[in-house]
Amino acid sequence: MSSGHSVHFANFICHVGDAELADALSEIVIPAFDTNKVRAFRDIRYLLHEVVVTNLTISKGNEVPAIIGRLVKDMVVRSEQQLDAKTGQLLKANQQMHTSPSSLFVLLLDSHKLIYCNETANAPGLTLLFLVFPT
């Protein structure tokens, strides 16, 4: 059994009116990945971390423009009950733990391909709602 992480691939389609991804790149797409923006949903904060716009060198020295970074799901996990392993009883608990699972992403700007990999358990999924539509 592999202990590696699964890599997911998706098409990143962006249309703004009649404009496509390349047309809206500097005005809309890159600002949407601004790392200072935090999106919140209930008690969970979603933020982009260590985002860079760069050129990736791929096969045969060809360079491809890309946006690379992490999507972080910052939250506090609360425990209201726990199972006692010795007695088998379900006991009340009042504990909490801060956690920030993350995923890595690479958006290839020439082909609109998104490469996505969860770094940790409970990492944010491939849904990009919180990246593009701030609350």
Where is average pLDDT lowest: 32-36, 83-87, 105-109, 121-125? 32-36
Per-residue model confidence (pLDDT) at position 24: 76
d(Cα 73, Cα 124) in Å, to the nearest integer?
6
Tens of pLDDT, residue by residue over 5-55, are 889 998 887 777 777 777 777 787 788 777 677 888 888 998 899 999 999
Structure tokens at 96: 């909490």
Residue 132, pLDDT > 70, answer no
Per-domain boundaries in the chain:
7-126
Q: How does residue 3 score in pLDDT terms, banded at 50, 70 and 90?
A: low
Quick one: what percent of the chain has pLDDT higher than 90? 50
CA-to-CA distance for 86 and 28, rounded, in angstroms?
56
Output 85-91 pairs: Cβ under 8 A, ≥24 positions apart.
Answer: none
CA 49, 50, 53, 54: dihedral to nearest 10 degrees?
-150
Which comes out higher in pLDDT, residue 98 or 31? 98
Confidence of residue 120 (pLDDT cuts 50, 70, 90): very high
